[in-house]
Amino acid sequence: MNDVSSKARRPAAYAGYRLRDVPEPDLELAQVGPGTPGGEMMRRYWQPVVLASELGAVPVRLRILGEDLVAFRDGSGRVGLLHRHCAHRGAGLEFGRIVERGIKCCYHGWWFDVDGTLLDAPAEPPDSALRRTACQGAYPVHEAAGLVFAYLGPPEEQPAFPNYDTLNLPGTDLVPYSISHPCNWLQVHENLMDPWHAVFLHSRMGATQITAAWGEMPVTEWGEIGDRVYYLTSRRLGDLVWVRFNEVMAPNVGQVGGFWQDGAREVLFQRVAATRWTVPNDDASATIFGLRHFSDDVEGPGGLGDRAKVGKEKLDVYGQTGGRSLAEMQDNPGDWEVIVSQRPIAIHAAEHKGSSDRGVAMLRRQVRRCMRGVAGEGEPLPPLHKPGPDGIVPTWTSNSVLRVPQRKDLPDQELLLAVGRAVRDAVVAADGMVGEMRLAAIRANLRKAATELAQG
Ligand code: FES
Ligand SMILES: [Fe+2]
């Protein structure tokens, strides 16, 4: 008999009334505006703010870290990133006129260089003190691979622009893209440390959104080394073991290994499909700016990549963008809608996190440590994005598929865990090397590890 009053019933049954109140968001982690711990921390790093291809005949209005800005490329090719409101009486500079040198506000013609210097205030007399005292707020920019990066922090703390190894690979084309999300940045970023969603959302819950191999249940481990949080997922596919080694780099950079891997052949250190920065627009909106990597190595046989489908609000993987119909999202839900539907700011206090969420918890701790480190509280920050001897930052994200058949002397779950760790160690051990030498060392380390693990 179905006795609803039984003491044996689950305590949560029909608990809607009791559970309807939603706790407050964790504002320390969520806020990004000027003067907040998160906002000040994010301002210590170069952040992409606009695609270079968006800079055309008129200025582009932006909102970054809670600040209203305009970006433009002047007639001499230099990029300016200025406060949106004109220093004179606040008109929006998105209505300004781009000129050979800088931009002129349309309201009274104040003329600003790309660094914010006031070049002219034509309605004022030549000896006006305003010419010496007024300027427009401006930020330094750096263009790389079709993305415009900016530094919004204190000028005396401006770091070098980090040059990741994956942005310098021969035979790789980098195609920039951006995807806006009407929600807090952290829930977008932390999806990168949640490999279990790939098993379910991208495979077992409906359509195969990437390749069938993603639906195999992996053995998973997360860890932290220096400024990185990483995961290792090991999947058995016959005698082969497919290991994904994915990293996020504090505070908001992440890489994703080759998408189309099917684990059907041996692969040694196949590099990334995407490098991406999750940039807060404000507390409740964020934009992923990314570089999609196209190469024979990453696309591989059976690759479904399509560079024509990569750009502003476009990516060549299912479910990454908004703008699809509700019917389509409900029929075949993707990353975008599950992330955005976690509420405008995900409520951590209402979650029930388990062992499969360990990477998300680690990433949040890392972000909080960064915020407190910048604020001068807690532990000092580890050096972030530290370059190797060649000035290039070695990164780890990769797919490797090793031939390690099941063994009689070891439960396969333990063997899969050991293969994952061996891949991590093989890659990280070569950090002091550069270029082809590093690649050769990693591949030799991986071959040796596979041989040893296969033999026991
Ligand atoms: S408000 Fe811009 S020139 Fe007057
Ligand atoms: Fe995903």
Give the lowest-confidence range in 16-30, 220-234, 368-382, 385-399: 368-382
Note whether 106 and 234 are same-domain residues: no
Q: Which residues surround ligand 2, an ion (CB under 5 A)?
A: 335
Ligand nearest to the CA of 108: 1
Q: Which atom of ligand 1 is nearest to the CA of 108?
A: 3
Note whether 65 and 180 are same-domain residues: no
Q: Which atom of ligand 1 is nearest to the CA of 93?
A: 2
Residue nearest (by alpha carbon) to ligand 1 atom 3: 108
Q: Has residue 374 got a pLDDT over 70?
A: yes
Q: Where does 140-182 show beta strands of DSSP type E?
A: 141-144, 147-150, 173-181
Q: Which atom of ligand 1 is nearest to the CA of 91?
A: 1
Note whether 226 and 315 are same-domain residues: yes
Of 85, 86, 99, 136, the residue with max ligand 1 atoms within 8 A of its CB, to mutate for a pocket test, comes to: 86
DSSP 8-state class, residue 156: G
Of 107, 112, 119, the residue with max ligand 1 atoms within 8 A of its CB, to mutate for a pocket test, comes to: 107
C-alpha to C-alpha distances, 412 to 205, 241, 408, 453, 454, nearest whole angstrom = 25, 11, 9, 12, 12
CA of 116 to the centre of ligand 2 (A): 40
Ligand nearest to the CA of 319: 2
Q: What's the structural domain count of the chain?
A: 2
Where does a domain end: 157, 175, 194? 157
For residue 8, what pLDDT band results from cuts at 50, 70 and 90? low
Q: Report the pLDDT value the prediction gives residue 10, as an integer from 0 to 100.
A: 66
Residue nearest (by alpha carbon) to ligand 1 atom 1: 89
Ligand nearest to the CA of 335: 2
pTM of the full structure: 0.95
DSSP 8-state class, residue 164: B
Note whether 192 and 121 are same-domain residues: no
CA of 114 to the centre of ligand 1 (A): 16
Q: Report the pLDDT value the prediction gives residue 209, as an integer from 0 to 100.
A: 87
pLDDT tens-place string over residues 224-267: 999 999 999 999 999 999 999 999 999 999 999 998 888 889 99
Of 89, 99, 124, the residue with max ligand 1 atoms within 8 A of its CB, to mutate for a pocket test, comes to: 89
C-alpha to C-alpha distances, 57 to 32, 54, 195, 231, 272, nearest whole angstrom = 30, 9, 42, 44, 34
CA of 57 to the centre of ligand 1 (A): 20
Token pair 């031939």 is found at 403
Ligand 1 is surrounded, with C-beta below 6 A, by 86, 88-91, 105, 107-110
Q: How many angstroms separate the CA atoms of 69 and 150, rounded?
A: 11
Percent of the chain predicted with pLDDT > 70: 97
Q: How many angstroms separate the CA atoms of 171 and 274, rounded?
A: 15
Q: How many angstroms separate the CA atoms of 203 and 341, rounded?
A: 19
Q: Has residue 9 got a pLDDT over 70?
A: no
Q: Has residue 301 got a pLDDT over 70?
A: no
CA of 190 to the centre of ligand 2 (A): 11
Q: Has residue 4 got a pLDDT over 80?
A: no
Q: How many angstroms separate the CA atoms of 200 and 215, rounded?
A: 7
pLDDT tens-place string over residues 89-99: 999 999 999 99
Mean pLDDT of the chain, nearest integer: 94
Note whether 89 and 201 are same-domain residues: no
Q: Is the residue at 86 inside a domain?
A: yes
Q: Has residue 1 got a pLDDT over 50?
A: no
Q: Is the residue at 30 inside a domain?
A: no
**Domain of residue 403, residue span:** 165-455
Note whether 150 and 175 are same-domain residues: no
Nearest to 170 by CA among 58, 29, 294: 294
Contacts of 365 (CB under 8 A, 6+ apart): none
Alpha helices in 103-184 (DSSP H): 130-133
Where does a domain end: 157, 188, 205? 157
CA of 310 to the centre of ligand 2 (A): 16
For residue 2, what pLDDT band results from cuts at 50, 70 and 90? very low
Ligand nearest to the CA of 123: 1
Note whether 176 and 150 are same-domain residues: no
Question: Are 276 and 263 within 8 A, CB to CB?
Answer: no
Q: Is the residue at 340 inside a domain?
A: yes
Whether a cis peptide bond, with omega within 30° of 0, leads into 140 is no
Q: Is the residue at 303 inside a domain?
A: yes
